[in-house]
Amino acid sequence: MTQPKDFGFDDDAAMLRDTARKFLADHLPTDKLHRLVAANSDPYRTPACDWDQNLWRQIVALGWTTVAVPEADGGMGMKLAALAGLAEEVGRAALPSPFIATALATLVLRECGSEPARKLLGEIATGRAATLATTPRSGAWEIDACAVRLEGGKLQGSAWFVQDARKADVLIVKAASADGIALCAVPVNSAGVDIVPDAIIDLTRDQAHVQFDNVAVAPDQVLAAPGKGAAALAAAEPALLTIIAADMCGAAEWLLQTTAEYARLREQFGHQIGYFQAVKHPLVNLMIALDQAKSLVYNAACAVDSEPERAPAYARMAKAAAADVAAYASNRAIQFHGGIGFTWECAVHLYTKRQKHNQMFYGDGSYQRAKLAELLMGAVGSGATVGYSSP
């Protein structure tokens, strides 16, 4: 298969994105975001979960959570590029919400193909929020890394780094069994589920680890039967990486534009600081790296729909580029804001923290490049030894 030239980003996708940009600018301008998530600066504060549930209800009503869900399952049936466009806007607004977590969950659910998965997609369309509980304490992102067991219809173990767990209604739990990896839908209020909030750096989301103690799983909660979960997760992985990367591109664009604006306002030595090439050139380097990352995001999104055989490599490229640009944008934004950039009152830290979180989430740049090298070059040691055997 080959990709359409416009990345599948059609007029409807552009309209959805433009509406989202205006909606978020109107309802969650940066000063309001700061009041919402940064009211308490105490480093020892109780792990917070600050979000605007009214805004979330409107987002659900606008259909954002089912953009890439097939129409047959109650979704909008749009291309992944459309969801990437939305994720960019959500990143640009640093929106605290279960939007990204739920979007990632839908991308896994649509690969499960089971009745329970389709039923859950329908429930998400009406407002249930979901999140993936698929990572062990070690933070290994590999599909076979799992610390939850499914035996005799019961879940036992723990999942870590569960995003927006306290905003979610249902967990998509990866569990290992004698027959292989399974995926189960577990409502957050199920007996035996203990959601333990983590104190995290990013103020625009919450995170938790979840203990499963003999949690009963009925057959209609099995999204992917034992042995079928790994394939569903592998199929969804390029899309997950792409959407996380899109969030970072949106946030990086905010950091770029906000810092450029500051460089146009702030004067020293009789010049706007943007006059100095020590400021100007790194901002341009940031813009260039961001444009490459963004182009790779839409290429990967398009590949998921139109060129799936290349999607794994393209998604690694997108996540690698976006992770690096997220770090660079955050770094230059604080530095070029000077002293004010180092304060709690300047909104730059909200974005920096979100970016650092997403940079590492599902693997940073060097991790993605190692995976990409395996795809393009084969594993280390798979090449022939050359040159040394001849006398």
Partner 1 sequence: MSEERSRDTPEQAEFRSHCRAWLTANPLPEAPVRLPQSAIEIMHTAQLDYLREWQRLAHAAGLIGCDYPVAEGGGGRKDCQIVANQEMQRAGRPFLPNILGLGMAAPTIHLHGTQTVRETLLPRLFSCADIWCQGFSEPGAGSDLANVQTFAERRGERWVINGHKVWTSLAHFADWMILLARSDRANKYEGMTYFVVPIKAELGRAVTVRPLIKITGETGFNEVFFDGLEIPDDYRVGAVGQGWQVAQTTLLHERGAGPMVTPSSGRGGDPDRQVADAYGLIDLARTSPRAGKTAADDPVLRDRIMQLIIRQEGSRQGARRARVPALCDHPQRIPLQAKLVMSEIRQDACALAMEIQGAASSFAFSDANAPDGGEWALGYMNSYGVTIAAGTNEIQRNILGERVLGLAKSK
User: What is the rounded CA–CA span in Å between residue 270 and residue 343?
Assistant: 25
Cβ distance 182 to 228 under 8 Å?
Answer: yes
Nearer to partner 1, 7 or 361 (CB): 7
By CB under 8 A, residue 277 contacts partner 1: yes
Q: Which stretch binds partner 1 (CB under 8 A): 5-13, 56-64, 156-164, 202-210?
A: 5-13
Q: Contact between 280 and partner 1 (CB under 8 A)?
A: yes
14 lies in the site for partner 1, by CB under 8 A = yes
**Least distance CB 275 / partner 1 (angstroms):** 4
What is the closest distance, in whole angstroms, from the C-beta atom of residue 284 to partner 1 in the complex?
4
At 233, list the tokens: 């997760």
Query: Which residues are paired to 76 by β-bridges?
Result: none
Q: How far apart are CA 370 and CA 145, in angstroms?
A: 18
Alpha carbon separation from 175 to 136, 143, 162 (Å, rounded): 11, 10, 14
Query: In the numeric block, which tokens belong to residue 82?
Result: 């459309």
Q: At what angle do helices 80-92 and 277-306 cross, to 10 degrees?
A: 150
Task: Decide: is 43 part of the binding site for partner 1 (CB under 8 A).
Answer: no
Does 22 interact with partner 1 (rule: CB under 8 A)?
no
Of 44 and 388, nearer to partner 1 (C-beta) is 388
Question: What are the φ/ψ torsions at residue 346 (nearest 5 degrees)?
Answer: -80, 130
In the chain, alpha helices (H):
11-27, 30-37, 53-62, 80-92, 99-112, 115-125, 229-265, 277-306, 311-337, 348-360, 365-377
Interface pattern 319-338 for partner 1 (x via CB under 8 A):
-xx-----------------
Residue 380 touches partner 1, criterion: CB under 8 A: yes
Please state the closest distance from residue 193 (CB atom) to partner 1, in A: 40
Nearest to 149 by CA among 140, 139, 159: 159
Neighbour-count burial for 76-89, b at 16+ CB within 10 Å, e otherwise: bebbbbbbbbbbbb
φ, ψ of residue 122 to 5 degrees: the values are -65, -35
> Is 292 one of the binding residues for partner 1 (CB under 8 A)?
yes
Q: Which is nearer to partner 1, 178 or 384 (CB)?
A: 384
Which of these ranges, 27-35, 196-204, 288-296, 354-362, lies near partner 1 under the rule CB under 8 A?
Answer: 288-296
By rule CB under 8 A, what string of x and - marks binding of each residue 349-378 to partner 1? -----------------x--xx-xx--xxx
25 is an interface residue for partner 1 by CB under 8 A: no
Answer for which of 20, 38, 283, 326 binds partner 1 (CB under 8 A) is 283
Using the minimum distance from each CB to partner 1, give the nearer residue, 1 or 178.
1
d(CA 272, CA 262): 9
Candidates 6, 50, 123, 169: give the one binding partner 1 (CB under 8 A).
Answer: 6
Structure tokens at 293: 């990352």
Q: Which residues bind partner 1 (CB under 8 A)?
A: 2-7, 9, 11, 13-14, 17, 256, 260, 263-264, 271-272, 274-277, 279-281, 283-285, 287-288, 291-296, 298-299, 314, 317, 320-321, 366, 369-370, 372-373, 376-378, 380-381, 383-388
